[in-house]
Structure 1
Amino acid sequence: MRLVIDGDGSPVKTATIEVAEQFRLEVVIVTSIDHYSKKEYPAFVKFVYVDPGFDSADYKIVSLIKPTDILITQDYGLASLTLKKAAHVLHQSGLEYTPLNIEPLLDQRYFSSKMRQAKQKTKGPKPYTEADREHFKAVLTNLVEKSLADR
């Protein structure tokens, strides 16, 4: 099992790495070369850098994801593409994407996009808080524990 992160703009990299360390899991962070960092990470954290461009990281993740992986992404489109390929797909809020909830989420994204094109005001996401991060970490920990127990 690996924890794969859609890394461009993810606020849960550190929390995910902490959970991975607890369970001795590999973390794969897929991100644009534009986000290259010299920051030191533990040896179990691997970076996959992709060319800048629309959906480059998403296409790479789709090609890398395995049936035992847990993917962390806030991208509904990527989530929909990987639901059948990954063991679990998780949003940074702690919501697990499922075949039952992905279609309404994609519909919501579509309608919000249409509203913005029509110059209508839409709400953006609330600022991500430490409480949000702790909630995500607890959900991820439970999911990993359950996945390891089911093996």
Structure 2
Amino acid sequence: MKILVDADACPVKEEIYKVAWRHEIPVTIVSNSPIRIPAHPLLDRVVVSDGFDAADDWIAERADGASVCITADILLADRCLKAGATVIAPNGKPFTHSSIGAAIATRAIMADLRAGGDQVGGPPPFGKNDRSRFLQALDETIVRLKRGR
């Protein structure tokens, strides 16, 4: 098992480290620019080019049934799900085969509204409850995967 993190805007890296260390699971932090990570044998950092979707491509190419991918990017989540990975958003909500279609559709609608000049708000501010929900979701996911789903 491994954890792949779309790290450039990930607000829960510290939480990922804690859960990974407890379960002794390797983590790869993928970003377009260097990000400081603790010195630990289970942590690896990959810095990809600043090309469009370079981090997403790196993660999607390595995602598989033994991967837990952490991302807020809906299109990356879709690619990882198709590769067999388990995907969790930083707010703790899982992306699933049954929910990804609606998420992609909502993303497209919001993009169309923004393109049309409509003022649409972004996601709510990331809060303490999101952090707690993420910790719980990641831990439960890892326990479930260790037990064989």
Shorter-chain TM-score above 0.5: yes
Q: Work out the number of aligned pairs and report it.
A: 149
- State which of 114, 117, 121 in structure 2 corresponds to 1:116: 114
State the TM-score, normalized to the length of structure 1: 0.93
Match of 2:123 in 1: 125
TM-score, with normalisation over the residues of structure 2?
Answer: 0.94
**Structure 2 CA distance for partners of 1:111 and 1:38, relative to 1, 3 Å:** closer
**Structure 1 stretches of 5 or more lacking a match?**
none
Partner of 1:107: 105
The equivalent of 1:9 in structure 2 is 9
Structure 1 position 31 matched with structure 2 position 31:
yes
CA contact 1:65–1:85 (8 Å) conserved in 2 = yes
Q: Which runs of 4+ in 1 moved over 3 A?
A: 37-41
Q: Which runs of 5+ in 2 are unaligned?
A: none
The alignment status of 1:148 with 2:146, answered yes or no, reads: yes
User: Residues 56 and 119 from structure 1, CA distance in 2 versus in 1: closer, same or farther, beyond 3 angstroms?
Assistant: same
Instruction: Give CA deviations for 1:11-63 in whole Å, capped at 9, x if unaligned.
Output: 01110110001101100111102xx1355332211011100122110011111
> Partner of 2:96 in structure 1?
98
What whole-Å deviation, never above 9, does each CA across 1:83-114 have from its counterpart, x for those lacking one? 02133111112111111111110011001011
Q: Does 1:18 align with 2:1?
A: no
